[in-house]
Structure 1
Amino acid sequence: MRRSLALLTALALLGTGSGCASRGDAAPGAEQKVLRYQGAVGAVTLPELAADLGYLDSISLKWIGNTTSGPQDIQAATTGDVEFGGAFNGAIVKLRAAKAPIQAVVGYYGVNEQVYGGFYVLDGSPIRSAKDLIGKKIGMNTLGAHYEAILKTYLVRNGLTDEEVRKVEPIVVPPVSTEQSLRAGQIDVAVLSGTLRDKALEKGGIHPLFTDYELLGAFTAGSYVFRTDFLKRNPGTVRTFVTGVAKAIEWTRTTPREQVIARYADILRKRARNEDDSQLKFWRSTGVAGAGGLIADKEFSTWVDWLDRSGELKNGKPALTDLFTNQYNAYKAAS
């Protein structure tokens, strides 16, 4: 995680030092209406859904490619390569603590009884407790983000010392390869979530050691961020974006699941990127806890306190008001 923090710091300084502003199509004095972003292969993001439902009004989205991880996505927002990016809230805390000029504005994914990430082992594995993870390899999609934080929280809560925690080895494994790596014995524990988890469970032979839902309950885990200079220059655009995403979240809550999946499949078909849509049948929920993606204090303070205890916040604990705001979200008044 220290390596991740060093990289985040360097990129934050690059973003602020270069004085790069968001490169959009707005005329002088006008708010920017074209928002560049990164997508995800075979998946539909909430902004893409909002645009398809007509919730973004005059705002248009410009896809520039697919992100490799949440930390990479918010780094791209920091350096001005995209207008907004999304990541695990703990990753946002680290980047903001490294002086990156970003602020979260709306939650976009979370954890609940339907949507969760699990740490899976093979049936018959001798791993049955946190102590059994000492010296073992845990495969996950990226380091310094959601699942590394969940893993270390689990280890500490179950009594492992700092020295023992350091002997547990999280390693990066591409999500599409994680199940196979577990079954082939290349890793001892596989972090699986969403459609990849459900596909793996269909085959059988694996079970969870623990899940993030069992550990922390329901919570919004990740948020979309903008650069603070973009927020100042384009408050109307941000308000429209956030409200559109918020309405899309609520649309998924109130629309029959089969219709949501059909809409996602139609969006994939229309954008014509030659993607496999077979995983869409496993969709359950966004997992977002707050109405319209409203962000609760605990969804950032939990990770601020954890990172501070682990010595990751060298510049001190950032204020919650610097990390996120609900001011652009129309659901704030209703709450």
Structure 2
Amino acid sequence: MVNVARLKPVGRRSLLRGGIAAAAAGTALSGCSTGSASPARGETKVVRYQGWSGEVLYPELAADLGLLADVRLEWIGNTTSGPQDIQATVTGDIDMGGAFNGAIIRLIAAGAPIRAVVGYYGADADTLAGYYVLEGSPIRGPRDFIGKKVGVNTLGAHHEDVLAIYLERGGLSEDEIRSVQLVVVPPVSAEQALRSGQLDVSVLSDIKRDKAIARGGIQPVFTDFDLLGAFTGGCYVLRDDFIAANPATTRTVVAATARAVRWAQTRPREEVMARFTDIIQRRGRNEDTSSVRYWKSTGVAGPGGRIADREFGIWLDRSVEDGRVDAGQLDVDQLYTNEFNPF
């Protein structure tokens, strides 16, 4: 059992800026050279990445589908969050990482030389994140969140920014929005923390949401799909120096990942789940495959993970409004490219 009372709400802006600044500074000092080939030595054919326990990433699916040609993936371990994954990309510990688009924006604003290249998760009618309360809770709308504790999986990511937009659209001021206390809780503990009264609201998604709903006694105040419609929420990124030094490898891995996303978008759900289960069992990482049974859709809006302006513009506007990115500092076309995506 996680004692949420001991997990004090974190100063969102200061913590996020500190972590991003450290990653960006590390990049500047290292020259972003780790793992990247120079054109004179020829391109690397190995792309390092971090995984997620019990899940299949789309580059992994691409490899299993035989789409990577002469490029090989190298798994170096599992990540703890999207922001951590793209910071590891910035520092050169890995070559390709993925995170929420808003986190990508703030890392680029801090000076990180990365670019989003293909979308990999999002929200639709089947795959979404909900902000849940206990039945009978007085929290029914935006103003009811003032001063309340909301459990999220990590700071500076999808759940925080979606909540901020919901509250802003509900008429709350910046000071009122900042009064909402975000508490970082492992997703596996989010339901229990809500039911025990340690949190007023918990964000639940995927298998955690479905199991919690089946147990009853909770209800959503809103979901990200209710708020924003279908959208791609997160993308894989590559460093600029990796792209420059390895253009053919970049095109291969991004195009293969896009085709894997499209495969999952267009195949029957049962076929996708069976393939994911088989991949997890064969790769031998001592993982539980039960979560695959709860997979419903990719949640990716664009065909093959093609990125739309809106999917970065909405988070860029929000980052400017709350002061985490300076007005005029970034344009949307600096944040992503569809150049390598065959769709």
Whether these two folds match at TM > 0.5 is yes
Deviation for aligned residue 1:319 = 2.0
SS at match of 1:210: strand
Aligned partner of 2:91 among 79, 88, 107? 79
SS at match of 2:41: coil
For the Cα contact (< 8 Å) 1:106–1:223, is it kept in 2?
Answer: yes
Structure-2 residue corresponding to 1:64: 76
Structure-1 residue corresponding to 2:331: 319
Take 2:39 and 2:319, find their aligned partners in 1: how far apart are those partners?
Answer: 41
Q: Which deviates more, 245-254 or 18-27?
A: 18-27
2:168 aligned partner, one-letter code:
V
Deviation for aligned residue 1:134 = 1.2
Runs of 4+ in 1 over 4 A off after TM superposition: 24-28
Counterparts of 1:119-138 in structure 2, within 5 Å, are 119-138=131-150
CA, structure 1 residues 117+8, in 2 after alignment: closer, same or farther (shift >3 Å)?
same
Structure-1 residue corresponding to 2:6: none
Deviation for aligned residue 1:285 = 0.9
Take 2:75 and 2:152, find their aligned partners in 1: how far apart are those partners?
Answer: 26
Structure-1 residue corresponding to 2:100: 88
Structure-1 residue corresponding to 2:175: 163
Deviation for aligned residue 1:25 = 7.9
- Residues 193-214 of structure 1: CA deviation (Å, up to 9, x unaligned): 1111111111111110000000
Counterparts of 1:97-136 in structure 2, within 5 Å, are 97-136=109-148
Q: 1:18 aligned to 2:25?
A: no
Deviation for aligned residue 1:316 = 4.5
Structure-1 residue corresponding to 2:52: 40
Counterparts of 1:246-265 in structure 2, within 5 Å, are 246-265=258-277
Counterparts of 1:175-254 in structure 2, within 5 Å, are 175-254=187-266
Take 1:277 and 1:223, find their aligned partners in 2: how far apart are those partners?
Answer: 24
For the Cα contact (< 8 Å) 1:25–1:33, is it kept in 2?
Answer: no
Q: Which deviates more, 204-213 or 21-30?
A: 21-30
Aligned partner of 1:7 among 4, 19, 28? 19
Take 2:115 and 2:308, find their aligned partners in 1: how far apart are those partners?
Answer: 14
Deviation for aligned residue 1:26 = 8.6
Aligned partner of 1:276 among 259, 264, 288? 288
Deviation for aligned residue 1:321 = 2.3
1:148 aligned partner, one-letter code:
E
Q: Which runs of 5+ in 1 are unaligned?
A: none
Q: Which deviates more, 24-33 or 1-10?
A: 24-33
Deviation for aligned residue 1:222 = 0.5
Take 1:171 and 1:233, find their aligned partners in 2: how far apart are those partners?
Answer: 41
2:238 aligned partner, one-letter code:
F
TM-score (norm 1): 0.96
Deviation for aligned residue 1:5 = 2.1
CA, structure 1 residues 276+161, in 2 after alignment: closer, same or farther (shift >3 Å)?
same
For the Cα contact (< 8 Å) 2:49–2:74, is it kept in 1?
Answer: yes
1:252 aligned partner, one-letter code:
A
Count of residue correspondences: 331
TM-score (norm 2): 0.94
Structure-1 residue corresponding to 2:278: 266
1:323 aligned partner, one-letter code:
L
Take 1:8 and 1:159, find their aligned partners in 2: how far apart are those partners?
Answer: 30
